[in-house]
Amino acid sequence: MSNSSDSEQGTQERKKPNILITGTPGTGKTTLSQLASESTDLFHINVGELVKEKSLHQGFDHEFQSWILDDDKLVDELEETLSNGGNIVDFHSCEVFPERWFDLVLVLRTDNTILFDRLKDRGYSQKKITENIDSEIFQVILEEARESYPAEIVVELRSNTIEDMQSNVTRIEEWVEAWN
Ligand SMILES: Nc1ncnc2c1ncn2[C@@H]1O[C@H](COP(=O)(O)OP(=O)(O)O)[C@@H](O)[C@H]1O
Ligand SMILES: [Mg+2]
């Protein structure tokens, strides 16, 4: 599926917005997506889970301990749902999705020491922890988002504490209200 061919079908067709919540693993995407989904009535799509469930991958990469994403299968799987609007898409990468899908792109950011503890609690290997901490330090996902989407829809959100989480939920609620 081409990412550019139908860029003219903009947001006009959507009655409800689509939000992408992205960031390094452990920054709180799934937790925030669940909370925001409950209070805004948008549908939460956990892309990592979907990739596993529907085998939208090309096998498991043992070196990196992760599934090798099949970009085309993933975009095809989500196309209809996203065209209809009303979704919160939760994924640790963002360049795979067509630009036209999203009205808002949130990039969660977490301080290193806090992120380290969360990934350790998750049972990640030292290698995987280091990779993710480095990625967060070098703002890999933020840069990816800025390269993939218009600057005015990309917003960086701190996600260190429960208070941050609550204020992020409120921010999403207010944004959705204003969009509607
Ligand atoms: N803002 C936050 N403050 C405190 N704990 C958080 C925050 N965001 C997430 N967590 C915790 O960190 C862990 C990872 O969160 P999760 O939502 O699974 O991250 P992700 O989906 O980005 O990998 C969970 O235990 C969650 O409760
Ligand atoms: Mg998650």
If you take atom 4 of ligand 1, which residue's CA is the nearest one?
Answer: 161
**Average pLDDT for runs of 10 along the chain of length 180:** 44 86 98 98 97 96 89 97 97 96 98 98 95 97 98 98 98 96
Residue 23 annotated as binding site: no
What is the structure's pLDDT at 13? 78
Residue environment code for 60-80, b if the CB has 16+ CB neighbours within 10 A, otherwise e: eeeeeebbebbeebbbebbee
**Ligand 1 contacts CB of residue 83 (under 6 A):** no
Residue of 51, 118, 157, 161 to mutate, ligand 1, most atoms within 8 A of C-beta:
118
pTM: 0.93
> For the chain, which domains are there?
13-179 (3.40.50.300)
What is the structure's pLDDT at 136? 98
The bound ligand whose nearest atom lies closest to the alpha carbon of 160 is: 1
What is the structure's pLDDT at 64? 79
Three-class SS of residue 46? strand
